[in-house]
Amino acid sequence: MTAPSDIEALRARVRARPLPRHVAIIMDGNGRWAEARGLPRVAGHREGSASVRAVAREARAVGVEALTLYALSVQNLARPPHEVRALMELLAEFLESERREIMDNGIRLAAIGDLDRLPGAVRSRLDALCAESRGNRGMVLTLALSYDGREELAQAARRAARRLAPGDIDAAALEAELWTAGLPELDLMVRTSGERRISNFLLWQCAYAELAFVETLWPDFRERELLEVLADFQGRERRFGLTGAQVRGAVDP
């Protein structure tokens, strides 16, 4: 347990240095968190919702511009029906309980994925809160729901092909058709729970993102854990293919 003053010192340190503009998180490990306690998996998803709240609030407080959370993949929809139902109920609850927090903190809510596959009750709350928060300028909180990274690329290709001749479809044209168009470039992708894979998340966008794999299970990932990955990011040197000397502005030996 970190004392409150420690977390404040860490927060101050993180705030004093350049932040990633866009952070994405693969929120994994809810099931294992519950199973380790002899609880049903759904209990892990519930505790995971509290982490979403805490992490979004902290990201906003330190000044991250865009936070994109992998909440549900298309593949997750093939889980046992009772688990999928519980996830949808939690999502509906979250959209209800966080409405005030989102509006009061100037957060703009967005959603990416095949949203037509969400139940009507979830979809209508989601659409309503996205519309209500559209004018907010604090931080963009994007929920990836029923999301499939390869499908995002396929639809970008289809849309670009409708607009352009094949020879005119370049990287910028495809990027403009991604669901994340308009968000800052992805700087940092975090995955919790010790797994070291991308699981079909933001396949294009992670091209030059820094990757952070942490052992903490998502329900245990809160303010302090977010600050720690941000601090770790701030200690890295991003080279984008150049030499270290080039990015540091030094003359090559």
Per-residue tokens: 89: 């109920």
**43 part of the interface to ligand IPE, by CB under 6 A:** no
Distance of closest approach, residue 249 Cβ to ligand IPE, in angstroms: 39
Q: How far apart are CA 184 and CA 68, in angstroms?
A: 11
Judged by phi (left if over 0) then psi (alpha if -120 to 50, else beta), residue 134 lies in alpha
Question: Is 30 one of the annotated active-site residues of the chain?
Answer: no
Q: How far apart are CA 17 and CA 189, in angstroms?
A: 18
Question: Is 28 one of the annotated active-site residues of the chain?
Answer: yes
Nearer to ligand IPE, 70 or 94 (CB): 70
Q: Looking only at residues 201 through 240 of this chain, which bind ligand IPE when binding is defined by CB under 6 A?
A: 218
Q: Are strands 66-70 and 22-26 parallel, antiparallel or unpaired?
A: parallel
Nearer to Mg ion, 28 or 187 (CB): 28
Please classify residue 235 by burial: count the beta carbons closer than 10 Å to its beta carbon, then call 0-12 exposed, 13-18 middle and 19+ buried. Answer: exposed
149 binds, among Mg ion, ligand IPE, none (CB under 5 to 8 A by kind): none
**32 part of the interface to ligand IPE, by CB under 6 A:** yes
- Answer for the pair 107, 65: CB distance below 8 angstroms, yes or no: no
What track of x and - describes contact with Mg ion for positions 14 through 53 (by CB under 5 A)? --------------x-------------------------
- Answer for the pair 72, 142: CB distance below 8 angstroms, yes or no: no
**31 part of the interface to ligand IPE, by CB under 6 A:** yes
Residues in contact with ligand IPE by CB under 6 A are 26-32, 70-73, 76, 87, 193, 195, 197, 199, 218
**Catalytic center residues:** 28, 76
